Amino acid sequence: MAAPVKSGSKFMLNGLCRWGGMAVVLLGLPCLAANEATANPAPMAMVVEEALQTATAQYEWMLAHLPDNGELPRTFEHGKLVTKLKRDWTVGFFPGSLWYLYAATAEPKWRIAAEHYTALIAAEQFNTRTHDVGFILYCSFGNGYRLTKQEAYRAVLLQGAKSLGTRFDPVVGSIKSWDRDPKRFTFPVIIDNMMNLELLLWAAVHGGVAGLREIAVAHADTTLRYHFRPDGSSFHVVDYDAATGGVLRRLTHQGAADDSAWARGQAWGLYGFTFMYRETHDVRYLAQAEKIAAFLMNHPRMPADKIPYWDFDAPGLPNVPRDTSAAAIMSSALFELARLTKGSNEAERYAGFAGDQLRALASPAYLARPGENGGFLLMHATGNLPGHSEVDVPLNYGDYYFLEALLRCRARLNPQS
């Protein structure tokens, strides 16, 4: 692998971010973004390229200011950069963002940086304690392999898929999400877990151990059967009886209430069933993706700029935090859904909604200026509001899916490139 990137001195950014009172900031966001998106809008191609230019400038700043501690940036909270390495589900997103910048620019410096930070998390291929191996490895090593075809990356991905597969229980028909206190959970499965299936499906056609595709399909089918409400929204957590496979209860961990529609959870479901259809051509998965899309796009409490509140049923609406990470995931998923349904009545609507979200995210209301926001791209994301953690902050996964949405939009605008 390439030589490590030299890190800068101790990270300092105090005073650079503009943090107002939460109510003031949030009340101003819809008007700011809506005005940006509707007053003499720039061509979408220009929005994409300018956002990518901002992203490269911001991440150049980030790389120059990261502490040399062998960890990866997760967020910027309370005026301080937060970095992680072990026991953190988000560590694959920063390397993945660097790979996306390499894909966007073809500049070797991004590949060098991506290789360095990807290598830091190679040990996760043996992690059997969490379902997040899919997030961790597919966003980092997966993009690295796609862009470079390094055999070492393929080997890590295959081992990681094997590790993830050990968490599958055939009685429940799902991959267990958390190993928590059995007094609290028996066999918890969260909607986020859909995202980890992409690694299994990839490994199934790239030399992985037998049964990985079957595990992914079984998990998706169980989720389809038990996680969703009639309107297309999903519960966050379903806790199963490991002995019978029956549902014990449906609840939330990060949403406003057990029966609420936590915004990022809805985005995970949309994204997951979209790629399940892409990889299997099973029309049941397409139908579910489209049902989730309809729930989100037609929701009466979706703000005018299409950047959702952290939960569609949050107390105190509309004066509650937004979640730009949820918007970025939705936008990326909708661009992919539009591609997969090209020629249908809904395809242009999916792409149009995704484009509106992308335009808003790329506006000054949400996209930070280089040197601010701790070096991250998107402002105003919400990690875990009930847990009083990462509220109105940047999040590395918000940046990752924002960059992915930009690249998917660029590919849509330039299909021959």
**DSSP-derived secondary structure for 371-384:** T-GGG-SB--EEEE
Q: How far is it, in rounded angstroms, from Cα 326 to Cα 311?
A: 10
Dig out the tokens for 49 from the structure.
Answer: 């390229």
Q: b/e per residue, 108-131, with b = 16+ CB within 10 A?
A: eebbbbbbbbbbbbbebbebeebb
Distance, CA of 78 to chain centre: 23
88, 132, 239, 305: the active-site residue: 132
- CB atoms near residue 250 (< 10 Å): 16
Q: Which of 192, 239, 305, 311 is catalytic?
A: 192
In this structure, are strands 237-240 and 188-190 parallel, antiparallel, or unpaired? antiparallel
For the chain, first and last CA: distance in Å?
28
Between CA 393 and CA 379 the distance in angstroms is 6
Cβ(104)–Cβ(407) below 8 Å: yes
Q: Please report, as a single letter, which amino acid is at residue 30.
A: P
Residue with tokens 């988000």: 90
132 is catalytic: yes
What sign results for the dihedral spanned by CA atoms 312, 318, 324, 325? negative
343 CB burial (10 A radius; 0-12, 13-18, 19+): exposed
Length of the chain: 417
Nearest to 73 by CA among 383, 396, 400, 414: 396
Structure token pair of residue 353: 């909604």
Please tell me the distance from the alpha carbon of residue 128 to that of residue 181, in angstroms, as a whole number.
17
Q: Is residue 46 a contact partner of residue 411, using CB atoms and an 8 Å limit?
A: no
Rg (CA), the chain: 20
Catalytic positions are 132, 192
